[in-house]
Structure 1
Amino acid sequence: MNFLTVIILYCISCFKGERSTNAVYYLLQGKKSAQTVQDAVWFSLKHVFSIYPELKKELFQEHINFLVKHKLVEINEKTCQITTAGEEKLSNYIEKQPIPKSLDGWNFQHIDKKFWQRLSLIVQIVSNWANGEGKFMPVQRDYYTQRWVKRWLFDWNTTYDKQTLTKKLYFEIEHLLSYAESKKENPELFVARLSGYENPGLTISQIAQQYKIDEYYYLIIFRNFLHFMIKSISDFRSDYPLLYSIIKNEQQEIVFTDSTRKTLNLLSMNKSIIEIARIRNLKVSTIEDHIVEIALMDEKFSIDQFVTPSMQDKIRSAINTLNTRKLKRIKEAVPDADYFAIRLVLSKWTEQK
């Protein structure tokens, strides 16, 4: 049982028997559908959203078959449920190999790969510069990454000479890695993949073997460290001007459908739901769907104008008591709440991982 199996079991456990195995697959792969985005938020699984973007359906199904065969999960026509044996197995594994605390697929899945490609190539180049070497095989073959790095080096070379740029970059990286250590992150497993002058980085397989962890767990640890770096660089950008310049133009824009964006524009003009429906010649339920989408995607969007704080408390209490995300069951517990209110509260749902 490897860590991919553990993560799949973890998601099934968090879904509480209310979603199918496909929902788990789409979540880990990072499918940009309304349902998958909703699942990530409603079930507090944003941290594992898109953490295995290249996961193939055939491999995923093999892991599901393993879980079924060993009676760790049960599958019916529409949903998948973790068994008591599965919960015990999951608890034991997570205790030994916990999900890293800085993992944040929701916020950083769009940038972590780019950041790694750019940084690893920059480190390789300046390391060779420092040793007077100009010819070497680049660790990143992607044309767009190479073009971006060339431009980055050109821009900074107008401010610093090669020697100064190398020293400043080294200082920033060393400072960040020291900060990571103070936060009990493990920079060693990140540094092992970096290539420098006559020092090729280790492969994923080599690192997993050397540190006696399975490859899927290493992938999670590595992605976690990238997320930690990106957040730290963004939070303390004045301390890391060179590193921040690698990501500063990659801040994720909230992407709404065209129809939802039109509704958002009218909301910003203080139009009511009924007014927006009339202006746009759409059903009230459609406008409500748009507002739920906005609440899901924009953490700063307040739902207080649609659901009173006291009603939000009632709905949250029902969710906690029933331990469910099923709208019908929540509605039965809070009959004076409509489905729109329940969906909005779920869309702002947060709890400890």
Structure 2
Amino acid sequence: MTYLITLLSAKQSRRIRVIENILHNKRTVTTLFWGMRYQILPWLGSMRQLERADFDAQLSQLVAAGLANISQNQVLLSSAGYQAQLQFWQHHQRPQFLKFYLLGDIDKMEKRVLLAGQVLSEYSFQNKNYAPLSFDGDELRAVKLWFHQQNKSNLVFQFKQELTTFLSTLGEQQANFLVMQLVGHKVAGWSTEQAAEQLELPVIDATMVRRDLWAGLTGFFVDKTGPMHDLIAPLIQATPLSHSTQITYELFNRGYSIEQICRARHLKLSTIREHLLEVAIFLPRKFPFQTFLSDPVMQQLEQHYQGNVDQWQFNATDKSDGQSFFYFRLFQIMRSYQEYAQ
């Protein structure tokens, strides 16, 4: 059994392709909305290399075992599946740093920190003849630039001290796992499989723990100063918003109307609306729903849409400009977060 069972529900039928798209980081508004409804957004982009055949095979195994049912491309845990889900959490590692998963590119974060650690280790031994970790050129250039910008007199000690401070916040198994990955002078980092065997962890747990630890490191250093922060700061985002959505949101906050943003950015009206929906999904506490959902619009929406948000079907008569659907989706998002806040 894999962590896929933890992304399913016994009460809420979930769209199979939405779950797959979340894991792959396919950021359509539809995927983000339903990912929000399923409360699995922190898993966005967590398994970008997952093949559809493998994903479908995992689902098929759950169905064959009587743990899930599939109907109309949606999956629902059976009562046995719900019990299996509870038992899964009793025997497997829970992610501890989910709230940091969307702060930045965790995969690049890992590569950059490991490479920097290797560079500093070799530097401390005054060794210039070594093969750097085989990461892409962007990461090599980024670490090289970071290294040249740092004060070398105390850099090795400070970097080690910062990493040690973070390790001290972890459990023994987690700390050992992270240390096993480190690369240094005549020290090769362990693979996930090697660390899993040494720590007597199932590989699926080790894979999850590895990602979780780098998310934790990101969150730990995001608001600190020092070499580690300088190293990873370019990879950290202030919000989970895509780059294009962030630009739209900044213009909106400066008082631009949707139409003005369209003209300024040379983008379609539908695209700008999608950007604003993304903002509402990720930053509901900051999003001014009332700017778009006036009292008359709210009254009309409240008359048409009640009960379980998952069951709402858009039925506006005028769909020509997309505005009605924009209001509908905003209303869904607003009601969803009000529901979660209860």
TM-score (norm 2): 0.78
The answer to whether the 8 A contact 2:29-2:277 is kept is no
Is contact 1:41–1:348 with CA below 8 Å preserved after alignment?
no
**Secondary structure in structure 1 of the residue aligned to 2:66:** coil
Counterpart Cα distance in 2 of 1:73 and 1:222 = 28
Deviation digits for residues 82-123 of structure 1 (CA, Å, limit 9, x no counterpart):
111111111101122242121247513x42112211111111
Alignment size in residue pairs:
320
Matching residue of 1:151: 145
Q: Which amino acid aligns with 2:193?
A: S
1:74, distance to aligned residue in structure 2 (A): 0.9
Task: Tell me which residue corresponds to 2:216.
Answer: 228
% identity of equivalent residues: 18
- Equivalent position of 1:169 in the other structure: 159
Q: What pairs up with 1:244-255 in 2 under 5 angstroms?
A: 244-252=229-237, 254-255=241-242
1:179 aligns with 2:169: yes
Q: What displacement does 1:191 show?
A: 1.1
- Letter of the 2:233 partner, please give it: K
Could you tell me how far 1:142 is from its partner in structure 2? Answer: 2.0
Q: Structure 1 129/350 Cα, relative in aligned 2: closer, same or farther at 3 Å?
A: farther
Per the alignment, residue 312 of structure 2 pairs with 327
1:25 maps to 2:20: yes
SS of the equivalent of 1:54 reads: coil
- The answer to whether structure 1 residue 140 and structure 2 residue 127 are counterparts is no
For 1:160, what is the secondary structure of its paired residue?
Answer: coil
Q: Per-residue deviation at 1:58?
A: 1.4
Match of 1:243 in 2: 228
SS at match of 1:8: helix
**Higher relative contact order, chain-length normalized (CA < 8 Å, sep 6+):** 1
How far apart, CA to CA, are the structure 2 residues paired with 1:116 and 1:47?
18
Matched, 1:124 2:125: no
Question: Which one-letter code corresponds to 1:53 in the other structure?
Answer: R
Deviations 1:211-237 (A, max 9, x none): 2222222111111111111111013x1
* CA spacing shift, 1:105–1:170, aligned 2, 3 Å: closer
Give distance in 1, aligned partners of 2:231 and 2:329: 41
Deviations 1:243-271 (A, max 9, x none): 0101222233633768x976984675385
Cα RMSD for the two superposed structures:
3.9
- d(CA) in 2 for partners of 1:155, 1:113: 23
Which residue is 2:320 aligned to?
A: none
Match of 2:152 in 1: 160
The secondary structure found in structure 1 opposite 2:126 is coil
Matches within 5 A, 1:287-302: 291-299=276-284, 300-302=286-288
Query: Partner amino acid for 1:166?
Result: V
Matches within 5 A, 1:1-353: 1=1, 5=2, 7-13=3-9, 16-19=12-15, 21-104=16-99, 107-108=102-103, 110-156=104-150, 159-161=151-153, 164-181=154-171, 186-235=174-223, 237-238=224-225, 241-252=226-237, 254-255=241-242, 265=251, 269=255, 291-299=276-284, 300-306=286-292, 322=308, 325-328=310-313, 339-340=328-329, 342-346=331-335, 348=337, 351=340
**Could you list the runs of 5+ residues in structure 1 that have no partner in the other structure?**
278-282, 330-337
The alignment partner of 1:187 has SS state of helix
Structure 1 residues 37 and 144: CA distance shift in structure 2, 3 A? same
Give 1:280's aligned residue.
Answer: none
One-letter amino acid of the structure 2 residue matched with residue 255 of structure 1? S
- Which blocks of at least 5 consecutive residues in structure 2 are unaligned? 263-267, 315-326
Indicate conservation of the 8 Å contact 1:192/1:202, yes or no. yes
